[in-house]
Structure 1
């Protein structure tokens, strides 16, 4: 008898509408965590949370993507994959878009607040 044929032995668990973390691909997530760990050693833990101009993060993301597309897989300083660095930068910008909006220095944003 299969488990599916007799639901009396299956606990009822409501999952509808809940975030399903099991969908995350853990191998790349581990690589991104290595970037966080490198930064915590180089600067200090959670230093990035202080925030800074979004354009600085965008530029760093592009540098890592450019190095990767030109054939360099790993960042020479950290030894971690450039794509993990770029993904980390994107996650950081996403976090800033929620928690550090005052550092938004995108050109269209600057024009809007200056009335242009």
Structure 2
């Protein structure tokens, strides 16, 4: 069996930070809204029913991480997804959660039939 080399702590920290980006529900909502096309901050504020400061805070974090890109046009800032791999990761997590829920539902039905 091949022996695995230890992962440097800096790499572990970077991976944890990347996953941490997805631990905030508002960021997931914003990513979903940006999945198909870029949107200006005001569109995102209206779609999320939250403050511009809150939306901007989360967009800035994802922009700094390289997940989003940003461009200005007049007084509007537009964001779009730059790292589409983020959706593959989200899809895998959602698929796994769906499988777990189905298993739990089957177990619940079996218990109710007894």
Greater strand content: 2
**TM-score when normalising by structure 1:** 0.28
RCO higher in 1 or 2 (8 Å CA, sep ≥ 6)?
Answer: 1
**TM-score when normalising by structure 2:** 0.29
The structure whose Rg is larger is 1
